[in-house]
Amino acid sequence: MGTTLHTLKPPAGARKRRKRVGRGIGSGRGKTATRGQKGQLARTNKMPVAFEGGQNPIHRRVPKRGFINIHRLEVHGVNVGRLEGVFSAGQEVTPELLHERGLIPKRANVVKLLGDGELKTSLTIKLHRVSKSAREKVEAAGGTIELIDQGKNAGSSDEQAPGAADA
């Protein structure tokens, strides 16, 4: 007949039935239901998961340090060297394309172009921020840079978006 889905069974002894205790003196487990005599573990109470017998638990003994800034603006960087070979000459580089090519995560709201590496391909780059060295390398390769608006994620940047008032 062979093995089919409806004939599959676990090997003998692989699945053990749980012991049903606490069902009276005639159950074969006695009146204390394998809990021993009196004490904390014989009572019907549930202790917290992190309970350590009454001593101060580890999560209260260890000091807490620092804080999480909920207003933090996370800026994801991409080096100009990573663009070489990924984009062809004259192509437009946007955050969406960078995500499609696996250079930035989807959650990257603000993307900054950084100057590490070499760039020989002329590209049109549209990102939120650009470092000074990255701008020099892109323009030396014959490319152009446009800064796009950050919208609700506006924060301080190295270079302002076009049309921003100089203070």
Give the integer Cα–Cα distance in Å for 34 and 23: 11
- Mean pLDDT for the chain overall: 88
* pTM assigned to the model: 0.56
Q: Higher model confidence: residue 165 or residue 39?
A: 39
**Counting every residue, how long is the chain?**
167
> How many secondary structure helices (H) and strands (E) does the chain include?
4, 6
Please list the residue range(s) of the chain that carry CATH number 3.100.10.10. 75-152
pLDDT of 49 over the 80 cut: yes
Which pLDDT value is given to residue 152?
59
Give the model's pLDDT for residue 167.
40
Strand partners, 36: none
pLDDT tens-digit map of 89-141:
999 999 999 999 999 999 999 999 999 999 999 999 999 999 999 999 999 99
Residues 139, 145: contact at Cβ < 8 Å?
Answer: yes
Neighbouring CB atoms inside 10 A of 126's CB total 17
pLDDT at 66 over 90: yes
Q: What is the pLDDT of residue 149?
A: 87
Instruction: Say how far apart CA 133 and CA 80 lie, in whole Å.
Output: 10
Would you say 86 and 103 are in contact if contact means Cβ atoms under 8 Å apart? yes
- Quickly name the fold that domain 75-152 has: Ribosomal Protein L15; Chain: K; domain 2 (3.100.10)
Looking at the DSSP assignment, which residues form a beta bridge with residue 84? 87
pLDDT digits (tens, 9 = 90+) for 1-19: 688 999 999 999 999 999 8
pLDDT of residue 157: 47
